[in-house]
Chain A
Amino acid sequence: MISALLDNRRFRSWGGQILLLGGFAALLAWLVTNTVSNLNARGIRVGFDFLWRQANFPISESVLPYNPSDTFFWAYVTGVGNTITISLLAIILSTALGLAVGLARRSKHPLISGVAGVFVTTMRNMPLIVHLLFWYAIATTSLPAPRMAYHPLPGVFLSLRGFYIPSLDLDGAALAYVALLLAALVLLVMFHRKIIALVRPDTDHPILILVAVFAAVALVLALIIRPSGAISVPAIKGFNFAGGLRLSPEFAALMLGLVIYTSAFIGEIIRGGIDAVAAGQWEAGRAIGLSECHTLTRIIIPQALRIIIPPMTSQYLSTVKNTTLALAVGYPELGLVVGTVINQTGQAIESIALLLAIFLTISIAVSLLMNWYNARVALVDAR
């Protein structure tokens, strides 16, 4: 009877799985009981009530307004805001630099491809945290005091107190104007076929038509809204700079390290994607009389994108996760805020659970977004 049961395939596989699940549940239960007894022994109370207490610790810089009299909850929100900001900035900048690096590596020009190759090899083979600490060391020990700051470009000052760059001071109308322009640009790109068909269907230069339409829209909007803004250039006043935008050494080191490191990887992804499109596609494009530009935009890039997007997604995700290394240079992103809160309150379980939950949410959101985009790209030119 028992041996017959053991020989039954269904029984065996389900029995094994139930054992597995039981073992997993037992492990979880064991961990939970341990934790409860440990917490009781140490007199720690678990709960998220602490979130509404006053935080009483400073956050050195943040995108969202924050001061120490805010709650712990707002401190977390500030940390998340910083994390999202540096992630987006790092992703945009490193994609731009990575594109340049990837194209440079494919260049026929020996110096360009050589320099790009050396860049990629050296930057990829060193840990990110070493990059960050290196740039932080440069920004905090090797730069001069504000009075003798390096002045590599007009309006740009590099000093021990931070990097100063010119900034754009915009009023509310100007911000609305910029937002409207962006919206117009998106609409223009979305409906470019219809607009061209409406204005001049027989044109040879569709791009020029689009530019003209955009310029007209921009002009009309400017006349209606009347934006005003001023460029503020940093200048030395006493012992420090006034005007302009200050980038703290922490932020500058984080951005430099993260962008340089990530762009080396993105460059390789882009180069791999372009290389993977068969040379015959270029030749076929030429053979049917397409211009080089059209071959690139209509034949090569759509196919290369399909190869590039999956590794690019995981690269973007790991960039978001890599921003947690900012705590090595003291930039107050989520990881650093969590560390500080744990030191202040001892609410380790809740804080770490929040950290993990937030990163899981970001990871899942990004992969869903990228999967959606990937499906779209795959559908557009499905054979």
Chain B
Amino acid sequence: MSTLNMDAVGALPNPSLPPRRTRKSFVQLLFGDLVSACLTVAVGALLLSMVPVLNWAVFDAIWTTNDPAACSQGGACWAFIVAKFRFIIFGTYPPDEQWRPLLVMGIILAMILGSLSPRLWGARLIYLWVFAVVVMLVLMAGGVFGLEPVSTSKWGGLPITLLLALLSLGLGFPFAIFLALGRRSNLPIARMLSVLTIELVRGLPLVGLLFVASILLPLLLPAGWSIDKLGRTLAALTIFAAAYLAEVIRGGLQGVPSGQVEAAKALGIPGWKAVAHIVLPQALQKVIPPLTNTAIVMVKNTSLVLIVGVFDMLSASRVAATDPMWPAPFVESYVFVALIYFVICFGISHYARWLESRVQARSYR
């Protein structure tokens, strides 16, 4: 009698447990029913249609040759990238001095690796970055410590891309904080000016701003002042970055509970000190993931400087492909440049994800 009872109980699912998950096998997922079988075949056909691309990129490709004529056979001409590697990476920087941009890129990489862990963040790191940027600019420009001077019109390639992204974000950040605070403040004139600036810049395409910087800026400044093309481009990128960063930071400011400011007031902390030491740190901590997003956007946006004739990596690759010795390998050049951008942006987004998981793990409040 009792055994029968036990059997009956065993046959029923335990109501206190969630229903058992039915895990489908891989084959079942792919061909389980008519719809998924059709989808599998469709995706298979799509992947099969990529075979000629794969053939072009890998099997028919020419990887190493010194003879440009060997490259006109139909496969990808990666030998061209090998031959023009230095030009695409360094642009028209004098070949004998190219160790300098190389060192600059090394410094950037080392500094970024050194700043990855949030444990090291602090005022000291910011001073170190300022110092590093000064060192990098001195290295690129030369003229002191026996370094041969190199004018900015000869700077080019990947260091330009990295420096523009880094400097526009770094210089734009303080402006962004002021704009965001202004937009959130209850002083009408400050708020109006901030809203005007932010919305004006965000309403315009970056190409328009670059036009303004490259064509109008010389007209707007007094006759004696001259800023070179790189500086003007950097100005446009900085303003652009500031407006977008400001909106991100505003989101963080909105997320700080008003009780924090009230508590500061109750303790008698003056307004600006409360902002600098209580509101801003909390706001910035909240917006680190969207800030990395803005960083990715800015890295990608530096490629637009090609339109106003700054010689960044993309321009260098385009110029390299016009070499009449080679059979117009534009596609290969752009694929190579796209890969470099991909590595940078993908790296940043993965770092952001890691950072976010760390922040989540620590938010015990």
Contact = CB atoms under 8 A, between A and B. Distances in A.
Interface stretch (B94-102, B122-130, B302-310): B302-310
Given A17-B188, A17-B189, A349-B219, A126 B342 contact: yes
A66 interface: no
Contacts of B30: 109-111
A338 B223 contact: no
Nearest to A136: B330
A127 B207 contact: no
A112 B300 contact: no
B211 A35 contact: no
Given A17-B187, A133-B318, A325-B207, A342 B334 contact: no
Interface in B311-360: 314, 318, 321, 328, 330-331, 334-335, 337-338, 341-342, 345-346, 349
B198 to A, nearest CB: 12
Nearest to A314: B202
A352 B193 contact: no
Interface stretch (B35-43, B78-86, B110-118, B167-175): B35-43
Interface residues of B, number: 55
A322 interface: yes
Given A125-B345, A129-B304, A134 B331 contact: yes
Contacts of A364: 203
A34 B221 CA distance: 6
Given A21-B189, A359-B204, A134 B335 contact: yes
A142 interface: yes
B301 interface: yes
Contact of A356 (B29, B40, B204): B204
Contacts of B218: 38
In this complex, the interface size class of chain A, counting residues with CB under 8 Å from chain B, is 35 or more
Given A109-B30, A359-B205, A24 B211 contact: no
Contacts, number: 149
Interface string A250-284: 00000000000000000000000000000000000
A109 B216 contact: no
Contacts of A18: 189
Contact of A348 (B29, B206, B219, B341): B219
A321 interface: yes
Nearest to A363: B203
Contacts of B331: 134, 137-138, 141-142
A125 B307 contact: no
A325 B304 contact: yes
Contacts of B307: 129, 325, 327-328
Contacts of A112: 39, 43
Interface in B184-215: 187-190, 193, 200, 202-208, 211-212, 215
B266 interface: no
Given A125-B342, A133-B318, A359-B205, A34 B193 contact: no
A8 interface: no
A89 interface: no
Interface string A113-156: 00100000110111111110110011001100000000000000
B51 interface: no
A244 interface: no
Contacts of B303: 127, 129-130
Nearest to B299: A127
Nearest to A142: B331
B40 A111 contact: yes
Contacts of B187: 13, 16-17
A27 to B, nearest CB: 10
B296 interface: yes
A133 B346 contact: no
A137 B330 contact: yes
A20 interface: yes
A168 to B, nearest CB: 28
Interface in A2-38: 13, 16-18, 20-21, 24, 31, 34-35, 37-38
Contacts of A313: none
Contact of A335 (B46, B47, B207, B221): B207
A215 interface: no
B39 A130 contact: no
B18 interface: no
B10 interface: no
A185 interface: no
B4 interface: no
B267 interface: no
Contacts of A20: 189-190, 193
A18 B189 CA distance: 8
A300 B326 CA distance: 56
A180 interface: no
A41 interface: yes
A1 B337 CA distance: 66
B205 A324 contact: yes
Contacts of A21: 189, 193
Nearest to B344: A125
A355 interface: yes
Given A109-B39, A130-B337, A359-B205, A41 B223 contact: yes
A182 interface: no
A110 B221 contact: no
B127 to A, nearest CB: 29
Contacts of B146: none
Contacts of B26: 110
Given A13-B187, A129-B304, A130-B314, A360 B43 contact: no
Nearest to B327: A141
A18 B193 CA distance: 12
Given A125-B296, A328-B307, A352-B211, A34 B220 contact: yes
Contact of B338 (A13, A108, A134): A134
Contacts of B301: 127
Given A110-B30, A360-B204, 11 more contacts: A20-B193, A38-B220, A38-B223, A41-B223, A126-B345, A325-B307, A349-B216, A352-B208, A352-B216, A356-B204, A359-B205
17 contacts: A16-B187, A17-B187, A17-B188, A34-B222, A110-B26, A111-B40, A125-B342, A129-B314, A130-B334, A133-B334, A134-B331, A137-B321, A321-B204, A324-B206, A348-B215, A349-B219, A355-B208
By Cβ-Cβ distance, the 8 closest A-B pairs, closest first, are A137-B330, A321-B205, A363-B203, A125-B345, A127-B300, A324-B207, A17-B189, A127-B303
Interface of A: 13, 16-18, 20-21, 24, 31, 34-35, 37-39, 41, 107-112, 115, 121-122, 124-131, 133-134, 137-138, 141-142, 321-322, 324-325, 327-328, 335, 338-339, 342, 348-349, 352, 355-356, 359-360, 363-364
